[in-house]
Amino acid sequence: MRYAIIGAGLSGLTAAYEIHRADPTAHIDVLEAGERIGGKLFTVPFASGPTDMGAEAYLAARGDATEFFTELGLRDSLVSPSNARSLLYAGGELRGIPRGGVMGIPAELADASATEPTVSWEVGGDASVGALVRAAYGEEIVDTLVSALLGGVYSSTADDLGVRATIPALAQALDTLAESGEPLRLSSAVKLVEEGRRGSTASKPVFGTFRGGYAELYETLAEKSGADIHLDCFVSSITAREGGFEVKGGVGIYDRIVLAVPAPTAAVLLRDIAPGASPHLNSIRLASSVVVGMKFDAAEGLPEASGILVAANEPGITAKAFTFSSRKWPHLGDRGGALVRASFGRLGDDAAVRMDEDELVDIALDDLHRITGFDGRAAGLSEIYVQRWFGGLPAYGVGHLSVAAAARGEIARIEGLEAIGAWAGGVGVPAVIADARAAVARLTGAGN
């Protein structure tokens, strides 16, 4: 059986590994447009040690990912974060992120004497997170807290994200309340989510990462997949042929195809073989961002926090977040000095992503200084890496789950074809892995 996988990011490499596991005799070509594997996972060799410039953590609370990494022989590489907490910069002040609530949405109005308006919600429906929270709690909480928290995951503001795809537990709570026919208050839904969470809070750390960076994962997957990985191999079309698929950029005819590329690219590549899927995939927008990695010789004056989220509407500040990697991860702190990642860019705002590199580093240093008082220039900036992520993350907008399901429905009509990746089953590393594994089980019949 001959397989072509388009894209050597996390989803493509996971698929290659899983196919090889299910059928060790399969011939697998992974066709990658770039000059390296990993996609949005990218570990850069700083002089001080391997440093991630894309994803830098994973949700360890999801046991399936940890199990998968253990199966790959990477258990001893997994490390946990320190207890340092994240801070919020809003209204010119640094403060703690309020505990409780869900994604920054509190379980009650800030002004307890005010009456909370009801919100409109249909069972099974969806709404923009921004619109929903604004209707119930007002403008401020959306721009300060909710957009900052969601933006950290999705590079989009709350207005561009749908409740059902980004805070599914809240959508379910709203469904439950709507079914009961009671007046619908956001605070009641948030309380319901909090109740559901109670008791399930395990003592395990919520996040994890790899001691040697994500390269440990993508290199292991590539190595154990037994696949032929073709770099600098841009695939421009796929056509159905007698007995299989022809891939422009591939070698010969393939029995089965796995598309592991961002949604708009999948839309183009499916034009001939699954044209019904393309409009759905094309409607998924991508958010661009840029990460500036900075290694300082000294750490004195850097807050004892894992990082800072910046309110979306904060005047005079361009950065949307800082990760104090050396405070967040003890193994990085052990390198001495300070390692800081500044992040810029949200859906519809890619000015920073296009900025000149020197200007961007200057802004990162100035914003950091202004917010924390830490003078990075005085601390000695020994290493810098600027990584631009054009179209880095799909925006999970209102109705995203239906869009993804519709695309999947069209793709399922073509035998021997699967399309996976961050657009399909969640943007986080565990979700991307789980989705790729499920797709391979369908493709190889291993799940039957």
Ligand X SMILES: Cc1cc2nc3c(=O)[nH]c(=O)nc-3n(C[C@H](O)[C@H](O)[C@H](O)COP(=O)(O)OP(=O)(O)OC[C@H]3O[C@@H](n4cnc5c(N)ncnc54)[C@H](O)[C@@H]3O)c2cc1C
Instruction: Convert residues 276-305 into a mask of x (bound to ligand X by CB under 6 A) and - (unbound).
Output: -------------x-x--------------
| Backbone φ and ψ of 153, nearest 5° | -95, -40
The reply on whether position 41 binds ligand X by CB under 6 A is yes
The stretch near ligand X (CB under 6 A) out of 123-131, 138-146, 353-361, 388-396 is 388-396
Find out whether 307 and 321 touch, Cβ atoms under 8 Å: yes
Q: Which of 374, 369, 378 is nearest to 302 (CA)?
A: 374
Nearer to ligand X, 129 or 419 (CB): 419
Among 4, 5, 6, 257, the residue binding ligand X under the rule CB under 6 A is 6
Binders of ligand X among residues 410 to 429 (CB under 6 A) are: 421-422, 427-429
What part of residues 56-95 is at the interface with ligand X (CB under 6 A)? 56-58
| Cα–Cα–Cα angle for 81, 84, 87, rounded to 5 degrees | 125
Tokens (6 digits) for 166: 């980004």
Query: Which contiguous run of DSSP H or E holds residue 139?
Result: helix 139-141
Shortest distance in whole angstroms from residue 52 CB to ligand X: 8
* 319-348 residues near ligand X, rule: CB under 6 A: none
CA distance 446 to 292: 42
When asked if residue 11 is in the footprint of ligand X (CB under 6 A), the reply is yes
Q: Does 407 bind ligand X (CB under 6 A)?
A: no
Closest approach of ligand X to the CB of residue 340, in Å: 15
Choose the stretch contacting ligand X; rule: CB under 6 A; options: 140-148, 254-262, 277-285, 357-365: 254-262
User: What distance lies between CA 267 and its chain's CA centroid?
Assistant: 20
Beta strands in 60-173 (DSSP E): 78-79, 86-90, 93-96
Give CA–CA dist 229/304, Å, rounded.
43
Give the integer Cα–Cα distance in Å for 122 and 187. 17
- Which ranges of 9-100 would DSSP assign to H, the alpha helix? 10-22, 63-71
| Shortest Å, Cβ 236 to ligand X | 7
Stretch that binds ligand X, among 25-33, 77-85, 166-174, 186-194 (CB under 6 A): 25-33
Q: How many CA atoms lie within 13 A of 402 on its CB side?
A: 10
Q: CA 154, CA 447: separation in Å to the nearest integer? A: 31
Shortest separation between residue 373's beta carbon and ligand X, angstroms: 26
**CB of 123: closest distance to ligand X in angstroms?**
30
Q: Examine residue 54 and tell whether it contacts ligand X (CB under 6 A).
A: yes
Residue 173 CA to residue 192 CA, distance in Å, equals 6
Which lies closer to ligand X via its Cβ, residue 111 or residue 232?
A: 232
Of the candidate residues 3, 4, 5, 8, the single one contacting ligand X (CB under 6 A) = 8
Residues engaged in binding ligand X (CB under 6 A): 6-12, 31-34, 39-41, 54-58, 234-235, 260-262, 265, 289, 291, 389, 392-393, 421-422, 427-429, 432
